[in-house]
Amino acid sequence: MEFPHPTPGTSRRRTPVTATATDTSIPWPHEPVRVGLVGAGPWARAVHARVLAAGPETRLTAVWARRAEAARETASPYGADAVARFEELLDGCEAVAFAVPPAVQAELAPLAAKAGKALLLEKPLGVDLASARRVADAVAEAGVVSQLVLSNRYHPATREFLSAAQSIEITGARSCLLHGAFLGGEFATPWRLEHGALLDLGPHLLDLLDAAVGPIVRVRGTGDPRRWIELTCEHAGGAVSQASLSGAVDIEGGSTRIELFGPQPPLVFDAAGLDQEELWPVLRREFATAVRTGVSGALDARRGLHLQQLMDQAMKG
């Protein structure tokens, strides 16, 4: 992946990206953050439980899910407890990670925030703008730490791309996030099949365009989110970007690509070939650091609400 040198005289008009990647090679100086996991589906098993249990910054203490057997299967490999009630999960942890459909997250996350727990939240915050706002409002009212699992943002290559984007002039951009997970398999879950790519994939691409090109002030959507949806985004400063989203196309390995155009050669981010395992230690370290310092990073519930507002606008056409 090649990044151009900054254009002389270019102003840094775009909003700052998240803090530089935490150096995970430095020994963790605190006690592990005790995290309870809500959910026991494929994403919870493949990512959340495994990453949180790996430490040293976090320790998976318990798993709660509406299917008790699934909770036991998720918790058992890591020596965590499978608890019978959500309230029991809250009693035994400092922070709660959510790996559930957005409607369930929007129901339970405010309760965890009210109980004073830090929140590791999935995107989207909720299934609609009203439910997302309830989550963000609950976090703000309780004053708890929150962090979004916008996975792309924690990869070193993504951060290098976003840093380079801050110092070039951008006239327009085009991007895509495409895969075939909705065509079948364990990630073709009911909420994804019902709401499609905008809610599932939209937060990732809108977040990256907003960070790279500049704050999105208007977005229009055309197409069917369950098949293919095209977004046109207008950014502060006048740049325009396109985003193509689909989870229902047969494309091997998927495609996440962003191209930024201006008076200099294009700046391109292509996730093909990136080792996704590089991002999870960064995410874990930054979440634990936020919990121990009591200070959320830029990818918090407010960011999630901003992205939900953009998706709501896109759905209205």
Average pLDDT along the chain, 317 residues, taken 10 residues at a time: 37 44 82 98 96 97 97 98 98 98 98 98 98 98 98 98 97 98 93 96 98 98 97 97 98 95 98 95 98 98 98 92
Residue 25 in domain: no
Residues 44 and 134 in one domain: yes
Q: Which residues of 241-270 are buried (b: 16+ CB within 10 A; e: fewer)?
A: bebbbbbbbeeeebbbbbbbbbeeeebebe
In a domain, 310, yes or no: no
Q: With pLDDT > 90 as the criterion, what percentage of the chain qualifies?
A: 90
Q: Is residue 16 part of a domain?
A: no
Residues 197 and 290 in one domain: no
Domain count, the chain: 2
| DSSP state at residue 2 | -
Alpha-carbon distance values, 183 to 171, 187, 196, 199, 231 (Å):
35, 9, 11, 16, 22
Helix 301-315 × helix 197-213 angle, to 10°: 110
Tell me, yes or no, whether 144 and 161 share the same domain. Answer: no
Instruction: Quote the strand ranges of the chain, DSSP E.
Output: 33-38, 58-64, 81-82, 95-98, 118-121, 146-148, 172-178, 216-224, 228-235, 240-246, 255-261, 267-270
Q: Mark whether 205 and 172 lie in a shared domain.
A: yes
d(CA 111, CA 141): 12
Cβ neighbours of residue 16 under 8 Å, at least 6 residues apart? 166, 298
Check which CATH number belongs to the domain holding 231 and give it. 3.30.360.10
Distance CA 76, CA 72 (A): 6
- pLDDT on residue 7: 36
Q: How much is the pLDDT for 22? A: 66
**Cα–Cα distance for residue pair 225/237, rounded to 1 Å:** 28
Q: Do 120 and 164 fall within a single domain?
A: no
> Do residues 175 and 218 both lie within one domain?
yes
Same domain, 193 and 179: yes
Q: Note whether residue 307 is domain-resident.
A: no
Q: What are the DSSP calls for 231-270, one per residue?
A: EEEEETTS-EEEEEEESSS--TT-EEEEEEESSSS-EEEE
- Please state the φ and ψ torsions of residue 250, each to the nearest 5 degrees: -85, 90
Q: How many whole angstroms separate alpha carbon 56 and alpha carbon 9?
A: 44
Q: Are residues 177 and 244 in the same domain?
A: yes
pLDDT number for residue 255: 97
Are residues 260 and 226 both part of a single domain? yes
Residue 289 lies in a domain: yes
Please give the backbone phi and psi of residue 220, each rounded to the nearest 5 degrees, phi first: -125, 140
Same domain? 211 vs 292 = no
CA distance 3 to 244: 23
Flag whether 312 is in a domain: no
Domain of 74, in residue numbers: 33-151+282-299
Helix (H, G, I), strand (E, B) or coil at 177: strand
Residue 19 located in a structural domain: no
| 185: its two tokens | 């398999």
Q: Given this model, what pLDDT does residue 233 score?
A: 98
Predicted structure pTM score: 0.92
CA distance 99 to 266: 36
Q: What is the CATH number of the domain that holds 286?
A: 3.40.50.720
Instruction: Tell me, yes or no, whether 183 and 210 share the same domain.
Output: yes
Q: How many other CB atoms sit within 10 Å of the CB of residue 31? A: 12
Answer yes or no: do 146 and 289 share one domain.
yes
Tokens of 282: 């960064």
Residue 60 resides in a domain: yes
3-state helix, strand, coil in the chain (%, to 5): 40, 20, 40
Given this model, what pLDDT does residue 23 score?
A: 80
